[in-house]
A and B are shown apart, each in its own frame.
Chain A
Amino acid sequence: MKKILFAVVLLTMSFTAAHKFYLSVTNITYSEKDDALQITVRIFVDDLEDVLYERYGLEAYQSTGAETKPLDAYIERYLRKKLAIQLDGQTMTYSFLGKAYEEDVVLCYLELTDVGMEQLSTMEIRNELLTDLYDEQKNLVHVKWKGKKRSFIMIKSNAKGMLNL
Chain B
Amino acid sequence: MRITKYCVVSVFFLSSGLFFAQEAGENAQEVSSKGHYNQSKFRQLYEEFSTPNTYRSASGAPGPDYYQQQADYDMDITLDDKNARIYGEGTITYFNNSPEDLEFLWVQLDQNVRAKDSKSPLRNGNGVNMAYMAGSFAQTFITEPFDGGFNIDWVKDSFGKPLSNTINQTMMRINLPTPLKSGENISFSIKWWYNIPDHTVNRARSGYEYFAKDGNRAYVIAQFFPRMAVYSDVEGWQNHQFWGSGEFALTFGNYKVNITVPADHFVEATGVLKNRKEVYSKEMMKRYAQAKKSYESPVIIVTQEEAEAKEAGFAENTKTWSFETAPGQMVRDFGFTSSRKFICDMQAVKVGNNDVMAVSVYPKEGNPLWEEYSTKAVVQTLHTYSKHTFDYPYHKAISVHAKNQGMEYPMICWNYGRPNEDGTYSDRTKYGMISVIIHEVGHNYFPMIVNSDERQWGWMDEGLDTFMQYLTEQAFGKTYPDAVAPNENYPSRRGAAAKIVPYMAGDQSAIAPIMSNPENVYQLGPNAYGKPATALNILRETVMGPELFDHAFKTYAQRWMFKHPTPEDFFRTMEDASAVDLDWYWRGWFYTTDYVDIGVKGVKKYYVSSQASKEMQEYMEARGVTEADLPPLVYLASEDSANYSEDLKGKAPSDISQNLKEFMMDNMTEEERAQVKEPKYFYEVTFDKPGGIPMPLIVEYTYADGSKENITYPPEIWRKNDDEVKRVLSSQKELVGIAIDPKLETADIDTSNNAWPKKEEQSDFDKFKEKVKGK
* Docked-complex contact B424 and A6, CB < 8 angstroms: no
Interface residue A65 (Cβ < 8 Å from any Cβ of B): yes
Assembled-state Cα–Cα distance A104/B268 (Å)? 32
Interface residue A140 (Cβ < 8 Å from any Cβ of B): yes
Assembled-state Cα–Cα distance A142/B443 (Å)? 36
8 A–B contacts from the bound complex (CB under 8 Å): A1-B418, A10-B145, A15-B244, A16-B203, A17-B462, A65-B427, A97-B772, A135-B136
Interface residue B658 (Cβ < 8 Å from any Cβ of A): no
Q: Which of A5-41 contact B (CB under 8 A)?
A: 6-21, 23, 25, 29, 31, 38, 40
Interface residue A132 (Cβ < 8 Å from any Cβ of B): yes
Told that A16-B203, A97-B772, A153-B510 touch, could you supply 13 new A-B pairs with CB distance under 8 A? A4-B200, A4-B201, A6-B202, A11-B118, A14-B113, A16-B406, A16-B407, A16-B414, A18-B416, A42-B502, A61-B426, A109-B772, A151-B509
Assembled-state Cα–Cα distance A158/B130 (Å)? 9
* Docked-complex contact B506 and A25, CB < 8 angstroms: yes
Count residues on chain B whose CB falls below 8 Å from chain A CBs: 70
Known A18-B406, A63-B420, A97-B772; judge A9-B243 contact (CB<8 A).
no
Nearest 6 Cβ contacts at the A-B interface: A63-B424, A18-B406, A13-B244, A157-B127, A65-B426, A151-B507
Interface residue A71 (Cβ < 8 Å from any Cβ of B): no
Q: Which of B377-420 contact A (CB under 8 A)?
A: 403-408, 414, 416, 418, 420
Q: Which of B125-161 contact A (CB under 8 A)?
A: 126-130, 133, 135-136, 139-140, 145-146, 148
Specify the main secondary structure of chain A where it touches its partner.
Answer: loop
A140 touches which of B200, B245, B408, B510 (Cβ 8 Å): B510
Provide the residues of chain B in CB contact with A156, threshold 8 Å.
Answer: 129-130
Kindly report which residue of chain B lies nearest to residue A153, judged by CB atoms. B510
B202 touches which of A12, A158, A159 (Cβ 8 Å): A12
Kindly report which residue of chain A lies nearest to residue B440, judged by CB atoms. A17
* Docked-complex contact A38 and B765, CB < 8 angstroms: yes
Provide the residues of chain B in CB contact with A4, threshold 8 Å.
Answer: 200-201
* Docked-complex contact B436 and A18, CB < 8 angstroms: yes
* Docked-complex contact B205 and A98, CB < 8 angstroms: no
Give, as a whole number of angstroms, the nearest-CB distance from A126 to chain B.
11
B422 touches which of A10, A61, A63, A140 (Cβ 8 Å): A63
Give, as a whole number of angstroms, the nearest-CB distance from B766 to chain A.
8
Give, as a whole number of angstroms, the nearest-CB distance from B56 to chain A.
27
* Docked-complex contact A132 and B524, CB < 8 angstroms: no
Give, as a whole number of angstroms, the nearest-CB distance from A87 to chain B.
19
* Docked-complex contact A10 and B140, CB < 8 angstroms: yes
* Docked-complex contact A132 and B133, CB < 8 angstroms: yes
Interface residue B769 (Cβ < 8 Å from any Cβ of A): yes
Interface residue B525 (Cβ < 8 Å from any Cβ of A): yes
* Docked-complex contact A103 and B491, CB < 8 angstroms: yes
Assembled-state Cα–Cα distance A19/B126 (Å)? 22
* Docked-complex contact B425 and A63, CB < 8 angstroms: yes
* Docked-complex contact A109 and B428, CB < 8 angstroms: no
Assembled-state Cα–Cα distance A138/B526 (Å)? 14
Known A65-B426, A97-B769; judge A8-B439 contact (CB<8 A).
no
* Docked-complex contact A64 and B426, CB < 8 angstroms: yes
Provide the residues of chain B in CB contact with A98, threshold 8 Å.
Answer: 768, 772
Kindly report which residue of chain B lies nearest to residue A29, judged by CB atoms. B765
* Docked-complex contact A25 and B129, CB < 8 angstroms: no
Give, as a whole number of angstroms, the nearest-CB distance from A140 to chain B.
6
Provide the residues of chain B in CB contact with A14, threshold 8 Å.
Answer: 113, 202-205, 244-245
Assembled-state Cα–Cα distance A132/B132 (Å)? 8
Assembled-state Cα–Cα distance A21/B201 (Å)? 16
Provide the residues of chain B in CB contact with A151, threshold 8 Å.
Answer: 506-507, 509-510
* Docked-complex contact B245 and A15, CB < 8 angstroms: yes
Assembled-state Cα–Cα distance A103/B432 (Å)? 10
A25 touches which of B136, B197, B422, B502 (Cβ 8 Å): B502
Interface centre among A13, A16, A64 (most CB of B within 10 A): A16
Kindly report which residue of chain A lies nearest to residue B439, judged by CB atoms. A18
Interface residue A45 (Cβ < 8 Å from any Cβ of B): yes
Interface residue B763 (Cβ < 8 Å from any Cβ of A): yes
Give, as a whole number of angstroms, the nearest-CB distance from B433 to chain A.
11
Kindly report which residue of chain A lies nearest to residue B492, judged by CB atoms. A103
Assembled-state Cα–Cα distance A92/B491 (Å)? 38
* Docked-complex contact B408 and A17, CB < 8 angstroms: yes
Kindly report which residue of chain A lies nearest to residue B132, judged by CB atoms. A8
* Docked-complex contact A9 and B203, CB < 8 angstroms: yes
Give, as a whole number of angstroms, the nearest-CB distance from A104 to chain B.
6
Interface centre among A11, A23, A64, A111 (most CB of B within 10 A): A11
Give, as a whole number of angstroms, the nearest-CB distance from A20 to chain B.
8
* Docked-complex contact A142 and B127, CB < 8 angstroms: no
Provide the residues of chain B in CB contact with A153, threshold 8 Å.
Answer: 507, 509-510
Assembled-state Cα–Cα distance A158/B502 (Å)? 23
Give, as a whole number of angstroms, the nearest-CB distance from B145 to chain A.
6
Provide the residues of chain B in CB contact with A6, threshold 8 Å.
Answer: 135-136, 139, 201-202
Interface residue B761 (Cβ < 8 Å from any Cβ of A): no
Give, as a whole number of angstroms, the nearest-CB distance from A94 to chain B.
13
Interface residue B523 (Cβ < 8 Å from any Cβ of A): yes
Interface residue B48 (Cβ < 8 Å from any Cβ of A): no
Give, as a whole number of angstroms, the nearest-CB distance from A83 to chain B.
15
Kindly report which residue of chain B lies nearest to residue A33, judged by CB atoms. B766
Known A19-B524, A109-B768; judge A157-B139 contact (CB<8 A).
no
Interface residue B421 (Cβ < 8 Å from any Cβ of A): yes
Give, as a whole number of angstroms, the nearest-CB distance from B771 to chain A.
8
Assembled-state Cα–Cα distance A98/B424 (Å)? 27
Mask, B207-224, CB within 8 Å of A = 1, is 000000000000000000
* Docked-complex contact A19 and B424, CB < 8 angstroms: no
